[in-house]
Amino acid sequence: MKSIVETIQEKIRPQFEGDSSGHDWHHILRVLNMSRHLQQTEGGDLEIIELAALLHDISDYKLNGGRLDEGGKVAFKLLLDNDYNEAKAEHIMYIVDNVSYKGANTPNEMNTVEGKIVQDADRIDAIGAIGIGRTFAYGGNKNQAMYIPELEAKLHDSFEEYANEKTSTINHFHEKLLLLSDRLNTKTAKEIGKQRHQFMENFLNQFYAEWNFQPENK
Ligand code: ADP
Ligand code: NI
């Protein structure tokens, strides 16, 4: 008999294949893989972690037309439809509803070790070389400019502002990506995050140097 993790993995896969907004199936697999790695040192219920990792983007507000709190309910229903334990499904609903970044000045802390691990794994996938790639992919998918020098980056005070205000892909680094390494929950994730954060700093320095290239005055 198939495990619940295998069953859910097979059921949701078609929904993520072919996505070009940075939330494709390989993102789900990387988050699953990183969550398993973090669990080895940080502990927590492996099955809940695996299911929450698989379901964390199941109905993201950026992909479902803007509805903010649907993901958890969709995950909960899918788990119960597959005869999963209701209390555990509620825990997974809580993780899915609270995993996302909601702006610089909007804290969103997880209060279970399983939640902290899945949030860390998702955030690690938003930084470093993969994070850079995903952010430019997302920007292109949303017809967002790569960089608008006169548009200042903002530290948003509410989720609504963060989700709705015009930005550029380079500003997104200052509004989210560069803030993530300090917001990782677990020690294991913080160690991995450090190197990926430095890689983004190096990328941005090179980007600005190329953008501001000046011909020599002879
Ligand atoms: P999380 O998984 O923390 O919720 P998101 O779903 O917000 O992450 O974002 C998924 C990917 O899309 C990430 O790599 C993220 O940085 C990128 N992204 C989200 N919003 C923007 C934006 N306005 N511009 C560029 N990239 C973005
Ligand atoms: Ni994600």
State pLDDT tens for residues 93-137.
Answer: 999 999 988 777 777 789 999 999 999 999 999 999 999 999 999
Give the gyration radius of the chain's Cα atoms: 18
- With both helix axes pointing from N to C terminus, report the angle between 86-98 and 71-81 in degrees, rounded to the nearest 10: 160
Q: How far is residue 33's CA from residue 39's CA, in Å, rounded to a whole number? A: 10
The residue ranges of every structural domain in the chain are 4-211
DSSP 217: P
The rounded mean pLDDT for the chain is 91
Mean pLDDT for 182-209 is 97
Between 193 and 1, the more confident residue is: 193
Across 199-212, b (16+ Cβ under 10 Å) vs e yields ebeeebeeeeeeee
Residues with CB under 6 A from ligand 1: 22-23, 60, 62, 100-101, 122-123, 126, 131, 134-135, 138-139, 144, 167, 169, 172, 176-177
First and final CA of the chain: distance in angstroms?
Answer: 76
pLDDT at residue 112, rounded to an integer: 96
- Residue 86 Cα to ligand 1 middle (Å): 30
Q: Which of 203, 143, 196 is nearest to 169 (CA)?
A: 143
Single-letter amino acid code for the residue at 137: A
- Ligand 2 ion: nearby residues, β-carbon < 5 Å: 57, 122
Which ligand minimizes its atom distance to the CA of 30? 2
- Residue 30 Cα to ligand 2 middle (Å): 9
Q: What is the pTM of this model?
A: 0.92
CATH code: domain 4-211 is 1.10.3210.50
- Whether the pLDDT of residue 190 is over 70: the answer is yes
